[in-house]
Amino acid sequence: MIRTLLCATALVFASVAAATAHDTNRGENVKVVYDQPLPNVPGKSLKGVLVEYAPGGTSPAHTHPNSAFIYATVLEGAITSQVNNGPVTIYRAGENFSEYPGDHHAVSENASKTEPARLLAVFVVDTNETNLTVYEK
């Protein structure tokens, strides 16, 4: 039941035209696939972000806005992740994790050097927040 719901949610998000895209040339592609104000929570929006990793692809270390709560689900492959000073963890297709406002995402990468991976991150964030990720230099 939960898997069906997650798949249906992913299909809805994927069917919405991308609002923005980001390609770091590190083997990742990031697209906002859903952006809707929450009618019962003034000033907050629900934003869906699809992150696609090529084999061996990575995201630079980054921080999300202080207003963002994130629920992430691995749709395909496996993702290696480290948030704040927590353990480096591998999440496989169907597994999920959360990030809290202002968390530092030190590691986010495809766990495989030969297979692609996809992650759907769902943000509850301030509606006026347009920069969902601040990358470190």
Closest C-alpha among 13, 8, 7, 1 to residue 123: 13
Using the predicted structure, report yes or no on whether residue 136 has a pLDDT greater than 90. Answer: no
Distance from C-alpha of 1 to C-alpha of 106, rounded to nearest angstrom: 32
Instruction: With beta carbons less than 8 A apart as the criterion, state whether 82 and 132 touch.
Output: no
End-to-end C-alpha distance for the chain, whole angstroms: 42
Q: Is the pLDDT of residue 98 over 50?
A: yes
Q: Lowest mean pLDDT: which of 22-31, 57-66, 95-104, 121-130?
A: 22-31
5 exposure class (CB count in 10 Å sphere: 0-12, 13-18, 19+):
exposed
Q: Supply the pTM of this predicted model.
A: 0.78
